[in-house]
Amino acid sequence: MDDTQWLAPSQNNLEKILEIADSFYKLNDIQVNKEKSELLVRYKQGRYRPKLKPHEPVTLRFGSDSIFIIPISP
């Protein structure tokens, strides 16, 4: 399987989506290299921006695993 993109308004929502996706992958015997995941963070103009430090990994639950991702900005 090649690139897949998931969009979510929050980390919590993204983790719920990834939990469902992970269940689907396991059910259909699909191998996913979670370590190659990338996280693109975007903010709406004028809204509060969390203090993410550049190049500091974020822990993200991806189904039954936790992965560390370095967020990037567009």
Q: What is the pLDDT of residues 16-68, one digit of tens each?
A: 999 999 999 999 999 988 888 888 877 677 666 666 666 788 889 999 899 98
Six token digits for residue 12: 């919590």
Q: pTM of the full predicted structure?
A: 0.77
Which residues are within 8 A (CB) of 31 and not within 5 positions of it... i.e. 6 or more apart? 1, 25
Distance CA 40, CA 26 (A): 25
Distance CA 3, CA 9 (A): 20
